[in-house]
Amino acid sequence: MNDLFDYMERELDELIEEAMPSAPTCGLLITLPDTDDHEALNFKLTQALHAANRFSTYAINRHVVLYHPADKDQARWEQIARVYRETCAKAGFIFLVMDNVKVARAVDADGVLCSKVMACSEARKTLDDDKIIGLRASTRAMAQSALSLDLDFVSFHTAPHGEPLLDLLHWWATTTEAPVAIEGTFDQENCAPFVAAGATFIESGPHIWTHPSNNPMQGTVNMLDAFERHNHSHKVSVN
């Protein structure tokens, strides 16, 4: 009898997995802001990640938290980063460190996002093969370097001499299937064209941390709802 119940339970699990999409088309990029109170920020991050997981109907959530440590006092930043990393690991989120490969390695982060091409090459030598390495870019030429180095993803941002974000995203989407993040100050509406154009991750930190309700959970759900709405609204009907 127990064997029968075990069989039925496995069948039910398989049916649930088949009914649920494996991962969201567009995920959150949550950059941690500068703060003097990392304990309070980590609590808010815990709330945001919990909200994302509770809101999701996917089998696997695909979201990223980005931490940018200061240049000095390496030991202190490692200690802080380790706490954030543990919070992300518990929630199943990817934890990346901005530029500082030493911190990323010390806390066993999932990878790094580098602002210079040379830093990417150094990160590849320093970090384990399974770690994620991405490059920030504001032009096609710089993004092409990411392709040449076979990096894991690119993150487009606005710069004085850079190209328009949407133009970069359209070009990237037609050039490669590699993941792409879009940085900026996005809310529930202005993220729409980037969701529709195929962004893998969209910066959601500003909306989450400064939500009028002062509730990071509400800001997180708002952005995820927007990703779903804008993605569905641009699907081509087959009827």
As beta bridge partners, residue 137 has 156
Give the pLDDT confidence score for residue 15 in this predicted structure.
Answer: 44
Q: What is the pLDDT of residue 59?
A: 72
pLDDT at 2 (0 to 100): 47
pLDDT over threshold 70, residue 234: no
**In this structure, is residue 9 part of a structural domain?**
no
Residue 235 has pLDDT above 50, yes or no: no
The answer to whether residues 231 and 26 touch, using CB atoms and an 8 Å cutoff, is: yes
76 domain residue, yes or no: yes
Q: Tell whether the model's pLDDT for residue 60 goes beyond 60.
A: yes
Determine, yes or no, domain membership for 203: yes
Tell whether 2 is covered by a domain: no
- pLDDT > 80? residue 168: yes
Interval 62-78 mean pLDDT = 88
| Tokens (6 digits) for 235 | 């699907």
3-state secondary structure of 24: coil
The beta strands (E) that lie in 125-236 are given as 132-137, 153-156, 180-182, 201-203
Rounded to the nearest 10 degrees, the angle between the axes of helix 117-126 and helix 140-148 is: 20
The arithmetic mean of pLDDT across residues 17-43, rounded, is: 84
Q: Please report the pLDDT score of residue 237 as a whole number.
A: 30
DSSP state of 4: H
Q: pLDDT band for 156, please (50, 70, 90 cuts).
A: very high
CA distances from 15 to 18, 19, 23, 59, 68 (A): 5, 6, 16, 12, 41
Residues of the chain with pLDDT > 90, as a percent, come to 77
Ranges of beta strands (E only) in 48-171 are 64-67, 94-98, 111-114, 132-137, 153-156
User: Given pLDDT bands bounded at 50, 70 and 90, which one contains residue 97?
Assistant: very high
4 located within any domain = no
Tally of domains within the chain: 1
Distance of CA 53 to the CA centre of its chain: 14
For the stretch 171-195, pLDDT in tens is 999 999 999 999 999 999 999 999 9
Q: Residue 236 — very low, low, confident or very high, per pLDDT cuts 50/70/90?
A: very low
pLDDT at 165 over 60: yes
Residue 19 has pLDDT above 70, yes or no: no
- pLDDT for 79: 94
Residue 30 has pLDDT above 50, yes or no: yes
Which pTM does this prediction carry? 0.86
According to the model, what pLDDT value does residue 22 have? 74
Residue 185 belongs to some domain of the structure: yes
| Cβ atoms within 10 Å of 9's Cβ, excluding its own | 10
Q: Is residue 10 part of a domain?
A: no
Range of the domain at 166: 25-233
At 12, the pLDDT band (50, 70, 90 cuts) reads very low
The predicted pLDDT at position 11 comes to 53
Q: How far is CA 135 from CA 4, 84, 181, 184, 206, in A?
A: 51, 22, 10, 16, 21
- Are the beta carbons of 52 and 28 closer than 8 angstroms? yes
- Whichever domain contains 185, its CATH number is 3.20.20.70
14 domain residue, yes or no = no
The two tokens of residue 95 are: 């934890």
